[in-house]
Amino acid sequence: MTANNTHPQLWPKWLKRSQAHQYVSVADNTFIKRYVETGKVKAYPTEHGLRYDRDEIDEAVRHYYD
């Protein structure tokens, strides 16, 4: 969902691990095993800890069965 004046963006661009698995609507372990360990989604180190790119998660979900 894109942000505008009446509806702010629901999910930030960079998600924490707890936000990332909620964004995909799966359990934390499932997110790690099916997306991160398979290399579909990368964890990017930042000064605030590891973060996951929301657009990269969208692309991984789109190509889940590939």
Kindly state whether residue 55 falls inside one of the protein's structural domains: yes
Q: What whole-number distance in Å separates Cα of residue 24 and Cα of residue 31?
A: 8
Confidence band of 8 (pLDDT split at 50, 70, 90): low
Task: Give the structural domain span for 42.
Answer: 14-62
- The mean pLDDT value for 49-65 works out to 93
Residue 25 identity (one-letter amino acid):
S
What's residue 3's pLDDT? 57
Evaluate if pTM is beyond 0.85.
no
With CA atoms as reference, report the closest residue to 31 among 49, 19, 14: 19
Residue 45 identity (one-letter amino acid):
P
Confidence band of 59 (pLDDT split at 50, 70, 90): very high
How do residues 9-46 score in pLDDT, each as one tens digit? 788 999 999 999 999 999 999 999 999 999 999 999 99
Is residue 26 within 8 A of residue 61, CB to CB? The reply is: no
| Counted domains in the chain | 1
With CA atoms as reference, report the closest residue to 21 among 63, 65, 61: 61
Kindly state whether residue 21 falls inside one of the protein's structural domains: yes
Kindly state whether residue 6 falls inside one of the protein's structural domains: no
